[in-house]
Amino acid sequence: MNDQIQDFFQKSLIENQIDNALYQTYSVKKGLRNEDGTGVLVGLTKISDVVGYKKIDGQKKDDYGRLYYRGINVEDMIRYPKENKRYLFEEVCFLILFGYLPTSEEFERFKKILSEQYALPPHYLEANILGFPAKNLMNKLQQEVLMLYGYDGDPDNTGILETLNKGINLLAKIPSIVCYTYQTKVHYFDEKSLVIHHVQKDLSIAEMILSLLRPDGQFTHKEAEILDIALALHADHGGGNNSTFTNVVISSTGTDIYSAVAGAIGSLKGPRHGGANLAVKRQMEKVIGEISIEALDEDIERIINRILDKDFNDGSGLIYGIGHAVYTLSDPRSEILSEKCQELAIEKGRYQEYKFYKRFGEIAVAKIYERKGIHVCTNVDFYSGLVYSMLNIPEDLYTLLFVVARTVGWIAHNIENKLYSNRIIRPATKYVGELKEYQPIEKRES
């Protein structure tokens, strides 16, 4: 760090400090959050709804969380008995994009539209990915999305149908870009063999990801089913989450879909948003390393107290994977992933590890209520990292899989905002500084 810049900065802190009390004085919501932690309303949507509790006749009756896509409970879609669950994520994508459940014929046409766009443009892989390895794959994915702008014959056309078509093209291509950029990274920087598979149009997106990542291209039905469910659960989470709102803010200026999606990826890269599942995995590895997987409940309770007392893990006092801004007693995504994680753990011979996670989560929830008097629950990040680990998906790809899933939500909100708001998003800030008189430099005190 430049010492002179540091000196300037320290002086600026004295000159420009904003008193925290001013936020209440002017009723300014920090982080666009109300005093109770709920988000400030910034728009209307019919795409998805995140429900922390249900009200009946104006009274709070049910604290169990629900997630709705276009008014349909996601849990109902996942739990509905089907003989062949291969394309749940694709069905969710259709529902989110078009607002209704497709007929069998419509769904087959939609799957074909997607699969026909899996492949990257001719020579794109060699020209843009293999020749330009990157250590940070989220930054690389941003670059690749912007690179696709140059392969579009009319990239700045922001019409509704044009945006929809471009968005579906991104939705189809991002999974292979994610896999190829990872393979390139480990080849160049970790000196591992480079294995590149061609995309297969007869595979679902979840199946394609597993086939591209694995040297032999093989996967089990259970593995594909659970990755499919994980993608479906991450597809959207309302218009107020940071990356979706970022995408809408950027697109509200009238810019192209590539810029909006690249900006959303930058938002999702942040550890407060998309990187939480990796934080959970690393936290749990440290916990197991400290007390072992056979630890008694009392041992788990002691280490949870240490985490809360900022005496273990990263010293933040946070238990990653526990608590949510909206959900109180349960995060429906976590509940589903927990069940599927158990099934996968049995198949993978890692049932003891799953049971440890389950015990840790239950004890952490109880301990937080005991110490702070608030109801919390395990959130989707608590089990998603463990699920990805059991699927042999590298840590580098945890947040990128979030991008694969959430792209459809970004596209839908982008289009909905164009259709029904179509104004540049420009909130205001309150100036709380003093008015000062300009002085020529020769009169300023040193």
| Closest by CA position to 410, among listed 171, 136, 88, 69 | 171
Return d(Cα 150, Cα 143) in angstroms, integer.
Answer: 11
In this structure, what token pair is assigned to residue 23? Answer: 């936020």
Residue 342 backbone dihedrals phi, psi, to 5 degrees: -60, -45
- Distance separating alpha carbons of residues 129 and 120, to the nearest angstrom: 11
DSSP output for 401-420:
HHHHHHHHHHHHHHHHHHHH
Nearest-angstrom CA–CA distance, 167 and 413: 11
Give me the residues paired with residue 383 across strands. Answer: none
The DSSP call for residue 100 is S
| Sign, Cα dihedral of 256, 262, 268, 270 | negative
Contacts of 173 (CB under 8 A, 6+ apart): 117, 118, 120, 148
CA distance 222 to 344: 7
Tokens of 338: 């927990």
Q: 243: Cβ–Cβ under 8 A, 6 or more apart, which residues?
A: 264, 265, 267, 268, 273, 274, 406, 410
- For 155, other C-beta atoms within 10 Å of its C-beta total 17
For residues 90 and 110, what is the distance between their CA atoms, to the nearest angstrom?
8
d(C-alpha 185, C-alpha 118), whole Å: 21
**216: its two tokens:** 């032999």
Q: Is 165 exposed, middle or buried (0-12, 13-18, 19+ CB in 10 A)?
A: middle
Q: How far apart are CA 413 and CA 238, in angstroms?
A: 9
Counting Cβ atoms within 10 Å, is residue 202 exposed (0-12), middle (13-18) or buried (19+)? exposed
- Can you read off the two tokens belonging to residue 278? 């990796």
Strand partners, 39: 33
CA distances from 271 to 90, 310, 439 (A): 27, 19, 43
Tally Cβ neighbours within 10 Å of residue 163: 19
CA distance 146 to 154: 14
DSSP at 410: H
Q: Which residues are catalytic?
A: 324, 381
